[in-house]
Amino acid sequence: MQFELGTTRIFPCPICKVDTPHTVKARKGEMYGIICTNCLGGAVVSDLDLRIYQIKWEEELQAILDSLIEHPFGDED
C-alpha cells in the first residue's frame, strides 16, 4: 500500500522535534518526501518508517481513547 500525495501522517519531525502531522509531497520507489505542518521542515523517510510510526501512533491513541471510555472525566469511582 502506498501513501497518496497530499495525505497526512503523524511522524516525529527532525526539525521541531515533536510528533506532528506531515504532508506527503513526493514519492520515489519506497521513499517519501514529507513536510511538517508545524514548522514546514522537510524530511525524506522510508515507506517502512512512515508506516511503523503511524501504526504505533494509532495504537497509542486508541489506548488513550479506551481509557477515557473506561474512566470518563468526572467519574467518582
Instruction: Give the residue carrying C-alpha cell 486508541.
Output: 62
What is the value of pTM for the model shown? 0.75
The reported pLDDT for the residue numbered 38 is 94
Averages of pLDDT over each 10 residues, the chain, 77 residues:
86 92 95 96 94 90 88 65
**Quick one: pLDDT at residue 75?**
57
> Where is 10: in which H helix or E strand?
strand 8-12
Report how many helices (DSSP H) and strands (DSSP E) the chain contains, helices first. 1, 4
pLDDT value at residue 77? 53
